[in-house]
Amino acid sequence: QSIERQGFAINHSRVKIGHGQEEAFIRAKNLLQDWRHFQLGWAFVPRETPIERGQGFNVCSKEGLFWIVNPLRIRYIRDDREQARKNNKIVYAFGSGTLQGHLLAGEERFSVEWNKEDDSIWYEIFSFSKPAHFLSLATYPYVRFKQRLFAKQSSDKMIQEMRHKVS
């Protein structure tokens, strides 16, 4: 059965964040591993949280006067560096699933990709979710708006971080 038929909404964002070879890809990968894509002021994951399979973490987001804490667990990590000789694209990604206490049910994947044909570096967010709490159900149009806002601001953050010169 398709995800949509099970009541999940799909969110997808893919944006070019830079250009370069292995050094640029490693920089993008390090930004993901440092949770830079989540340092938005109104939403964050503690940067010291390790990217490891099975690792639990919290997404903290500010809504009005309140901070909401949504728990997740990293389900998988994909690191294609060993595939470099066989493939024109190298991907680093990790995916997480929501846990009890999260306002939504679903999964989310963050990835960076190096397209070796043109040396472009891409950042992608893919998720599917549905309300898992009466608050998210009652405010679902707003929740969907915030998901789109997050995708836009997270993508902008990755572009900004890739342009930032490392000293």
Position 166 confidence tier, pLDDT thresholds 50, 70, 90: low
Second CATH level (architecture) for the domain 4-163? 2-Layer Sandwich (3.30)
How crowded is residue 108: how many other Cβ atoms within 10 Å of its Cβ?
21
Tell me: the pLDDT tens digits for 51-90? 999 999 999 999 999 999 999 999 999 998 766 656 789 9
Instruction: Write down the pTM of the prediction.
Output: 0.93
Give, as one character, the DSSP assignment of residue 88. Answer: S
Contacts of 37-43 with C-beta under 8 Å, sequence gap 24+, read 37/110, 37/123, 37/154, 37/157, 37/158, 38/154, 39/157, 40/150, 40/153, 40/154, 40/157, 43/150
For residue 156, pLDDT beyond 90: yes
Task: Name the residue with tokens 């806002």.
Answer: 149
Position 167 confidence tier, pLDDT thresholds 50, 70, 90: very low
Residue 8, φ and ψ in degrees, nearest 5: -90, 140
